[in-house]
Structure 1
Amino acid sequence: MPFADKTSSRSKVVKTEALDNKDAKWATLVKTTYTDPEGIERTWESGERLTRPKGCDIDGVGVAAILQDPAKPNDEPRIVLQKQWRPPVNATVIEVPAGLMDPGETPVMCAIRELKEETGYVGEVVADKTFQVSPIMFNDPGFCNTNLRMIHVTVDMSRPENQNPQPELEENEFIETFSVPIKNLWDECIRFAQAGYAIDARVGTLAEGIEFAKRWNLA
């Protein structure tokens, strides 16, 4: 698979330097003092986001968006993915659409908004209420308190607004949207990794779950 990013492949890290907590806008470091199961007092260094809206229990959402056309029931469902260069890993990352919560939003509202802004697709949450919103999940709980919910969305490709979707990216966002058959997601992740891309844990975990289901006949 060639490294064919339209924009992010030209990005590069110029320098990395220490950041004082007082100058941080998006995240900060904290030292937590706690007692272990034996009552011994210990400390733990971790990161915290500074962007979580007041009264909200999550920082953001990830969007598992499936492209389907009701007029073509035999077509393979495809999952929406993105290529986005990320400075912390100095690599182009394969991701699902995602974003931070705005004040007053529900997770579903945030997911539909972010999907439209980042990809141009107009989606709707899946009909099954037991599968619309995931439990709260923590990205890396040994390092930071960042958390999210995954929102499960379908995109009706027969709708006029989804024929030629146009993203509404911010001036500092360079995102390339594409899709792959969801049943092949594991193989696609392997190929992307071999081509030098980084795999977001949400994409990799979803791909692994699909592969487990296939190999152990769980579906």
Structure 2
Amino acid sequence: MKTCPSVGTLFRVSLVTMSTMSNSEEPKVTTAPHIVDEELMAAGKWIKLEKTTYVDPAGNTRTWETVKRTTRQTHIDVDGVGIIALLKRTLHKDCVVMVKQFRPPMGCCSLEFPAGLIDEGETVEVAALRELKEETGFKGEVAGVTPVTCLDPGLSNCTTQIVMVNINGDDMENINPTQQLGDGEFVEVILLPLDEFQSKIDDLMKKEKIVVDAKVYIFAMGMVQAFFKPRELPVLKQ
């Protein structure tokens, strides 16, 4: 003859069941992701490749292939500068000073903001004005500097700061500027009107084989938004 479980037994079984369900529903313990080790795999004059061992938020140990510059200076936590230089001249539209140069990794020319690495002992501002003078011949004044930003965080730890520079195009030294390029440097200076920045870039891309730096195109989209559609969300052409 079977007997029914007592009330006490049912109560204990219920507690065990509730405890099991509660444990199964608890979130997994997470940990702060962090680097464990960095092993050099290959190195050249300008860059190196490392195998990065790290712990992910779930506590798993994983590896990543990381590219780093070998040129970062000891006095600063940024690799280089990019320069958004605005040329202002009487009876002319304000223009953004751009550079076009052949980039071997891309196999073609690219359209970029003037840019360069920071030398030992230089501030970001000094490096920006030096690079602008070398690549374009223009002399300008710093108007602002961004925080340190990353460039391609899925590939590299390379960082940059963008420096805004105003150029007085009516100054004698800026009327016929002379580049100060180093050996092996071939840089073409291109002036693009600020209020037609994106359309002029699109025209260049249609006329010749050229790639555009992502920072440049995002800036161009921002200019379109600021000039013509300040209250609308940007929509890309399909």
Out of 164, 169, 180, the position equivalent to 2:192 is: 180
Out of 89, 101, 122, the position equivalent to 1:84 is: 101
Deviation at 1:196, TM superposition (A): 1.6
CA distance in 2, matches of 1:81, 1:29: 31
Matched, 1:117 2:134: yes
Deviation at 1:117, TM superposition (A): 0.8
Contact 2:42 2:50 in 1 (8 A): no
CA distance in 2, matches of 1:212, 1:35: 41
Q: Which has the larger radius of gyration?
A: 2
Identity of aligned residues (%): 38
Matched, 1:30 2:50: yes
Matches within 5 A, 1:32-111: 32-69=52-89, 72=90, 75-111=92-128
Deviation at 1:55, TM superposition (A): 2.3
Letter in 2 for 1:53: Q
Out of 34, 42, 60, the position equivalent to 1:21 is: 42
> Where does residue 222 of structure 2 map in the other structure?
209
Matches within 5 A, 1:152-167: 152-167=164-179
TM-score, structure 1 as length reference: 0.83
Out of 139, 162, 183, the position equivalent to 1:171 is: 183
> Where does residue 189 of structure 1 map in the other structure?
201
RMSD, matched Cα: 1.4
Deviation at 1:160, TM superposition (A): 0.8
Letter in 2 for 1:40: N
Deviation at 1:214, TM superposition (A): 3.5
Larger displacement relative to structure 2 (24-33 or 190-199): 190-199
Letter in 1 for 2:63: T
Matched, 1:133 2:152: no
Higher relative contact order at CA 8 Å, sep ≥6: structure 1 or structure 2? 1
CA distance in 2, matches of 1:140, 1:192: 25
Deviation at 1:215, TM superposition (A): 4.7
Letter in 2 for 1:181: P
Gaps of 5+ in 2: 1-40, 232-238
Deviation at 1:192, TM superposition (A): 2.2
Number of residue pairs matched by the alignment: 190
Deviation at 1:185, TM superposition (A): 1.3
Deviations 1:164-183 (A, max 9, x none): 10001011100010201012
Letter in 2 for 1:80: V
> Where does residue 160 of structure 2 map in the other structure?
148
> Where does residue 16 of structure 1 map in the other structure?
none
Deviation at 1:37, TM superposition (A): 1.2
Deviation at 1:203, TM superposition (A): 1.1
Deviation at 1:135, TM superposition (A): 1.4
TM-score, structure 2 as length reference: 0.76
